[in-house]
């Protein structure tokens, strides 16, 4: 019942967001290169459609090297992430904690909540709710709660920001490798055809040179980019309409947006494909 009491004054006229001139999209993931693996194709299409893109990794990449110390690799990965975000002219928001230190706790939630209010997105893209890695799962929970509390004046955010009263539609990306923590394939609710932008998605991922080189030293040439393409191809095969796709699931709209809100469908139109019923 709390939801219903809370959202009544927050909601505006039905579908008013679809008529806005500029749609704001906020992609939040756990680590540097997570956005590139699971969300970037959709982001590129949204940027081409005129949306304003915001980009944030919650953790700084401090554990992403067997060679450099934490501070050095975090600095390298910050530059790599900025370079990737620049490819789609995204507004970059700095990471907040070290790798493996993404906990569902008050201080981190307050910081993400402050960024959420400053962006006030119409579309929020987050990690999958169940992923092989806890950082991913918890980043999803933090981002959703940060959105849920955007209008709560009595929830203090850090730094302080006035509450915002926008509708926000939340979508979960596929888990890494399209499989959950029990290694079961996760069926998305719908797919976005990314055939036309797979090269640009690959170029964004290619900016994470420290990770690419690290992986290729042990596993061979181009394994980094090909892993991403294989994940995208597995989803393309589900649609039977494209070679490469990204999969998304709807978050429950309570407290967030109208029940029929679906701006990814409205904006991307022909790229949007429901997953055939009976598969999931």
Of residues 6-45, those binding Zn ion (CB under 5 A): 30-31, 34
Of residues 43-62, those binding Zn ion (CB under 5 A): none
Instruction: Decide whether 40 or 267 has the Cβ nearer to Zn ion.
Output: 40
Asked whether the beta carbons of 61 and 82 are under 8 A apart, the reply is: no
- State yes or no: residue 173 binds Zn ion (CB under 5 A): no
Residues that bind Zn ion (rule: CB under 5 A) add up to a total of 3
Q: How far is the CB of 34 from Zn ion (least distance, A)?
A: 4
Taken in order 196, 20, 54, 187, is the CA torsion positive or negative? negative
Q: How far is the CB of 61 from Zn ion (least distance, A)?
A: 9
Instruction: Decide whether 30 or 44 has the Cβ nearer to Zn ion.
Output: 30
Instruction: Decide whether 51 or 74 has the Cβ nearer to Zn ion.
Output: 74
Instruction: Decide whether 108 or 268 has the Cβ nearer to Zn ion.
Output: 108
The residue nearest Zn ion at its CB is 31
- For residues 77, 125, 114, 261, the Cα torsion angle rounded to the nearest 10 degrees is 170
Asked whether the beta carbons of 21 and 269 are under 8 A apart, the reply is: no
Of residues 218-247, those binding Zn ion (CB under 5 A): none
Instruction: Decide whether 30 or 43 has the Cβ nearer to Zn ion.
Output: 30
| CA separation for the pair 60, 33 (Å, rounded) | 11
Q: How far is the CB of 45 from Zn ion (least distance, A)?
A: 22
Q: How far is the CB of 174 from Zn ion (least distance, A)?
A: 13
Q: How far is the CB of 206 from Zn ion (least distance, A)?
A: 17
* Cβ-based neighbours of 248, under 8 Å, separated by 6 or more: 42, 125, 171, 172, 173, 174, 188, 189, 190, 191, 192, 264
Q: How far is the CB of 31 from Zn ion (least distance, A)?
A: 4
**How would you classify residue 269: left for phi > 0, otherwise alpha for psi between -120 and 50, otherwise beta?**
left
Instruction: Decide whether 171 or 272 has the Cβ nearer to Zn ion.
Output: 171
| CA separation for the pair 41, 243 (Å, rounded) | 13
Q: Which of 92, 113, 104, 95 is nearest to 159 (CA)?
A: 113
Asked whether the beta carbons of 9 and 163 are under 8 A apart, the reply is: no
- State yes or no: residue 198 binds Zn ion (CB under 5 A): no
Instruction: Decide whether 141 or 161 has the Cβ nearer to Zn ion.
Output: 141
Q: How far is the CB of 239 from Zn ion (least distance, A)?
A: 25
Q: Which of 35, 156, 137 is nearest to 90 (CA)?
A: 35
Q: How far is the CB of 29 from Zn ion (least distance, A)?
A: 7
Instruction: Decide whether 134 or 266 has the Cβ nearer to Zn ion.
Output: 134
Q: Which residues bind Zn ion (CB under 5 A)?
A: 30-31, 34
């Amino acid at each position: 019942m709390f939801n219903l009491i809370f959202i009544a004054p927050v909601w505006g006229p039905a579908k008013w967001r679809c008529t806005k001139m500029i749609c704001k999209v906020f992609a939040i993931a756990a680590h540097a290169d997570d956005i590139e693996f699971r969300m970037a194709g959709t982001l590129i299409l949204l940027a081409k459609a005129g949306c304003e893109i915001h980009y944030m990794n919650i953790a700084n990449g401090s554990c992403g090297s067997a060679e450099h110390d934490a501070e050095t690799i975090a600095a390298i990965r910050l530059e790599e992430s900025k370079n990737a975000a620049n490819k789609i002219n995204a507004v970059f928001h700095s990471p907040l904690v070290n790798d493996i230190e993404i906990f569902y706790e008050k201080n981190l939630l307050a910081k993400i909540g402050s960024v959420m209010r400053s962006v006030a997105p119409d579309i929020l893209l987050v990690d999958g709710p169940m992923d092989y890695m806890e950082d991913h799962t918890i980043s999803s929970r933090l981002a959703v709660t940060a959105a849920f509390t955007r209008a709560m004046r009595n929830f203090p955010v850090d730094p302080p920001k006035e509450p915002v009263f926008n509708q926000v539609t939340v979508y979960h990306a596929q888990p890494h490798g399209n499989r959950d923590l029990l290694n079961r394939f996760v069926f998305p609710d719908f797919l976005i055809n990314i055939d036309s932008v797979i090269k640009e998605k690959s170029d964004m991922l290619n900016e994470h040179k420290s990770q690419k080189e690290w992986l290729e030293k042990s596993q061979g040439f181009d394994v980094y980019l090909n892993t991403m393409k294989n994940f995208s191809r597995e989803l393309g095969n589900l649609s039977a309409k494209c070679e490469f796709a990204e999969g998304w699931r709807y978050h429950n709209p309570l407290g967030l947006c109208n029940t029929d809100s679906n701006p990814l469908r409205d904006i991307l139109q022909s790229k949007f494909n429901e997953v055939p019923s009976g598969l999931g």
